[in-house]
Protein backbone atom coordinates (compact mmCIF):
# COMPACT_ATOMS: atom_id res chain seq x y z
CA UNK A 1 0.00 0.00 0.00
CA UNK A 2 0.88 3.65 0.05
CA UNK A 3 3.04 5.12 2.77
CA UNK A 4 1.56 7.35 5.45
CA UNK A 5 3.02 10.14 7.55
CA UNK A 6 1.84 12.43 10.35
CA UNK A 7 1.47 16.20 10.31
CA UNK A 8 0.44 18.49 13.14
CA UNK A 9 -2.24 20.99 12.12
CA UNK A 10 -1.39 24.66 12.60
CA UNK A 11 -3.87 27.51 12.39
CA UNK A 12 -7.62 27.50 11.90
CA UNK A 13 -8.10 27.62 8.13
CA UNK A 14 -9.70 24.14 8.00
CA UNK A 15 -12.08 24.21 10.97
CA UNK A 16 -15.03 23.77 8.60
CA UNK A 17 -13.55 20.40 7.60
CA UNK A 18 -13.19 19.32 11.23
CA UNK A 19 -9.45 20.04 11.45
CA UNK A 20 -8.40 22.08 14.49
CA UNK A 21 -5.09 23.58 15.62
CA UNK A 22 -2.91 20.87 17.17
CA UNK A 23 -4.71 17.90 15.59
CA UNK A 24 -2.51 15.13 14.23
CA UNK A 25 -3.27 14.38 10.59
CA UNK A 26 -2.58 11.00 9.03
CA UNK A 27 -1.63 11.73 5.42
CA UNK A 28 -1.51 8.97 2.80
CA UNK A 29 1.05 9.66 0.09
CA UNK A 30 -0.67 10.45 -3.20
CA UNK A 31 0.82 12.95 -5.66
CA UNK A 32 -2.32 13.09 -7.85
CA UNK A 33 -5.52 12.90 -5.77
CA UNK A 34 -8.91 13.85 -7.23
CA UNK A 35 -10.38 17.34 -6.96
CA UNK A 36 -12.20 17.87 -3.68
CA UNK A 37 -9.65 15.90 -1.65
CA UNK A 38 -8.29 17.39 1.55
CA UNK A 39 -4.57 17.45 0.82
CA UNK A 40 -1.23 18.29 2.34
CA UNK A 41 0.65 20.32 -0.26
CA UNK A 42 3.93 22.17 -0.52
CA UNK A 43 3.97 25.58 -2.18
CA UNK A 44 7.41 25.41 -3.67
CA UNK A 45 8.63 29.00 -3.63
CA UNK A 46 7.20 29.68 -0.16
CA UNK A 47 8.89 26.69 1.53
CA UNK A 48 5.61 26.12 3.31
CA UNK A 49 3.25 23.20 3.71
CA UNK A 50 -0.48 23.70 3.87
CA UNK A 51 -3.59 21.57 4.33
CA UNK A 52 -6.47 22.61 2.08
CA UNK A 53 -9.13 21.26 -0.31
CA UNK A 54 -7.63 20.67 -3.77
CA UNK A 55 -9.18 22.10 -6.92
CA UNK A 56 -7.30 22.07 -10.21
CA UNK A 57 -8.27 24.92 -12.55
CA UNK A 58 -6.45 24.47 -15.85
CA UNK A 59 -2.90 25.77 -15.44
CA UNK A 60 -3.57 26.81 -11.83
CA UNK A 61 -4.31 25.05 -8.57
CA UNK A 62 -6.73 26.50 -6.04
CA UNK A 63 -6.24 25.39 -2.44
CA UNK A 64 -9.49 26.12 -0.66
CA UNK A 65 -9.73 27.03 3.00
CA UNK A 66 -12.67 25.76 5.03
CA UNK A 67 -12.97 28.86 7.20
CA UNK A 68 -14.47 32.06 5.77
CA UNK A 69 -11.82 34.17 7.54
CA UNK A 70 -9.12 32.71 5.25
CA UNK A 71 -8.47 33.34 1.57
CA UNK A 72 -7.99 30.51 -0.90
CA UNK A 73 -4.45 30.07 -2.26
CA UNK A 74 -4.27 30.19 -6.07
CA UNK A 75 -0.91 29.37 -7.66
CA UNK A 76 0.41 28.00 -10.96
CA UNK A 77 0.19 24.20 -10.93
CA UNK A 78 3.96 23.78 -11.30
CA UNK A 79 4.47 25.59 -7.96
CA UNK A 80 2.43 23.05 -5.98
CA UNK A 81 3.64 19.61 -4.91
CA UNK A 82 0.78 17.59 -3.45
CA UNK A 83 2.17 15.28 -0.76
CA UNK A 84 -0.97 13.27 -0.10
CA UNK A 85 -4.51 13.15 1.19
CA UNK A 86 -5.59 13.63 4.78
CA UNK A 87 -7.18 10.32 5.75
CA UNK A 88 -7.49 10.60 9.54
CA UNK A 89 -7.69 13.39 12.08
CA UNK A 90 -6.46 12.51 15.58
CA UNK A 91 -7.40 14.92 18.37
CA UNK A 92 -5.82 14.98 21.80
CA UNK A 93 -8.26 14.57 24.65
CA UNK A 94 -7.86 17.76 26.66
CA UNK A 95 -7.10 17.13 30.30
CA UNK A 96 -10.55 16.64 31.81
CA UNK A 97 -11.48 15.89 35.37
CA UNK A 98 -14.44 13.61 35.96
37, 52, 60, 95: which is the annotated catalytic residue?
52
Cα separation, 45 vs 33, whole angstroms: 22
DSSP type of residue 92: P
1-23 pLDDT tens trace: 789 999 999 999 999 999 999 99
48-66 pLDDT tens trace: 789 999 999 999 999 999 9
Taking the chain, what is the end-to-end CA distance rounded to the nearest angstrom? Answer: 41
For residue 95, indicate whether it is catalytic: no
13, 37, 60, 95: which is the annotated catalytic residue?
13
Cα separation, 25 vs 51, whole angstroms: 10
Amino acid sequence: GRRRFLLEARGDSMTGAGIEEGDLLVVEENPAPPNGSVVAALILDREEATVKVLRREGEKVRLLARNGAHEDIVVPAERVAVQGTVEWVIRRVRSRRY
